[in-house]
Amino acid sequence: MQKGKPSADELIALILQGIEDVKGLEINLLDLRDIENTVCDYFVLCNGTSNTHVNAIVNSIQKTVSKGIKDKPWHVEGSDNAEWVLLDYVNVVVHVFQKQVREFYDIEGLWGDAKVTLVESSFNQ
């Protein structure tokens, strides 16, 4: 591992903490490492209840990651309407959805060969 470059595990732990801190829902981790020609190693997916909640999750992730490992996303997309916001941390891509948008695009179904881990949250809806 390069000096100063955080591991994917560290990054994912901070992303999950950021999601949990503002009660993001239905958190899944997709491990894409065994699939050929993927753009990254992991997807983290979750949803919020409104565009305000989606933005709060996105802001919490960015703040937690920045504070923890001084990293920021290479690219952020979708913040304007906050129905589906993508945070690209290069080897880990985070998708924060509103529930109906997540169901419509069905990322888990599209990446059916990925190993999916349901992340248990410390609270119930």
Delimit the domains of the chain by residue range.
8-108
Quote the CA–CA distance of 120 and 125 in Å, as a whole number. Answer: 12
Residue 2 confidence (pLDDT) above 60: no
Contact 65, 57 (CB under 8 A): no
- Among the listed residues 125, 113, 103, 123, the one whose alpha carbon sits nearest the alpha carbon of residue 45: 103
Q: What is the pLDDT of residues 8-64, one digit of tens each?
A: 999 999 999 999 999 999 999 999 999 998 989 999 999 999 999 999 999 999 999
Distances in whole angstroms, Cα of residue 1 to Cα of each of 49, 65, 66? 38, 19, 20
Evaluate the CA torsion angle 2, 68, 13, 37 in order and state its sign. negative
| pTM for this model (two decimals) | 0.92
Q: Which CATH number fits domain 8-108: 3.20.20.70, 3.30.930.10, 3.30.70.3270, 3.30.460.10?
A: 3.30.460.10
Q: In whole angstroms, how large is the CA radius of gyration of the chain?
A: 14
